């Protein structure tokens, strides 16, 4: 099956590619997706496997049991998930299937400087999240209180604040409309790719 979107589903302007494109690992290669805060402090690190790329960007996956950790906290994935890393570098969208225990289907981290360092992706976490749940919570923007706190703490530039607030609102609109790549079909295709990988949890710290 082709990974190209239909003509009317062309990538959104917010997803325009970055001019530099580092080489990617082979599909099936384990990697760590590392987040940091605006001041360079360590944040989440997710054990993942590279799945491939389509018109929307690169996809990595996390099988059930694979680990995510940050200073002071660690957990293992309770259900398989796949994450889209678009070339624009301003968000990362994690998609879940029907098995997520808290009914989360899409979780988009608003980001800054999402890029590839060698064969692994890195990004700055920018607090705001766009979430779709298949329960009474519906679709919403999360962590706006943390966003306000960190705007003061880290001194986010005004132009970055304006861009990312507009981006979060636009992502919420696109998720609400199930506009690709935020449709279930796209997520299921890549969850299928993840299921086809013969991978085991990474055991090293």
- For residue 98, being part of any structural domain is answered with yes
Counting residues of the chain whose pLDDT is more than 70, the rounded percentage is: 87
Is the per-residue pLDDT at 179 higher than 60? Answer: yes
Domain that holds residue 71: 18-195
Mean pLDDT of 165-184: 98
**From CA 165, how far away is CA 95, in angstroms rounded?**
22
- For residue 116, being part of any structural domain is answered with yes
Q: What is the reported pTM?
A: 0.88
- For residue 25, being part of any structural domain is answered with yes
**From CA 164, how far away is CA 3, in angstroms rounded?**
28
Name the domain count of the chain: 1
- Give the CATH number of the domain where residue 135 resides: 2.40.380.10
Non-local CB neighbours of 168 within 8 Å, separated by 6+ positions: 110, 128, 130, 141
Q: What's the pLDDT tens digit per position in 46-57?
A: 999 999 999 999
**List of long-range contacts for 48-53, beta carbons under 8 Å, 24+ apart:** 48/83, 49/194, 49/197, 49/199, 50/24, 50/25, 50/26, 51/27, 51/82, 51/190, 51/193, 51/194, 51/197, 52/3, 52/27, 52/193, 53/3, 53/24
Mean pLDDT of 197-204: 66
Q: Which neighbouring-strand residues pair with 169?
A: none
Which pLDDT band holds residue 97 (cuts at 50, 70, 90)? Answer: confident
Q: What's the pLDDT tens digit per position in 9-47?
A: 445 544 444 444 678 999 999 999 999 999 999 999 999
């Amino acid at each position: 099956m082709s990974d190209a979107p239909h003509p009317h589903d062309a990538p959104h302007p917010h997803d325009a590619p970055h001019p530099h494109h580092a080489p990617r690992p082979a599909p099936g290669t384990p990697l760590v997706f590392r987040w940091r805060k605006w001041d360079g402090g360590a944040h989440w690190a997710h054990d993942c496997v590279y799945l491939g790329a389509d018109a929307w960007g690169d996809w990595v996956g996390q099988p059930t049991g694979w680990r995510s950790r940050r200073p002071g906290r660690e957990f293992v994935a309770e259900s398989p998930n796949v994450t889209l890393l678009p070339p624009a570098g301003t968000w990362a969208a994690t998609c879940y299937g029907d098995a997520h225990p808290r009914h989360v289907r899409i979780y988009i981290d608003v980001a800054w400087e999402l890029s590839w360092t060698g064969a692994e992706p890195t990004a700055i976490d920018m607090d705001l999240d766009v979430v779709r749940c298949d329960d009474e919570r519906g679709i919403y923007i999360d962590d706006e209180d943390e966003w306000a706190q960190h705007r003061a703490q880290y001194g986010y530039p005004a132009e970055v604040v304006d861009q990312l607030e507009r981006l979060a609102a636009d992502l919420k609109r696109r998720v609400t409309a199930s506009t690709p790549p935020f449709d279930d079909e796209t997520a299921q295709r890549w969850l299928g790719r993840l299921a086809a990988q013969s991978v085991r949890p990474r055991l090293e710290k």
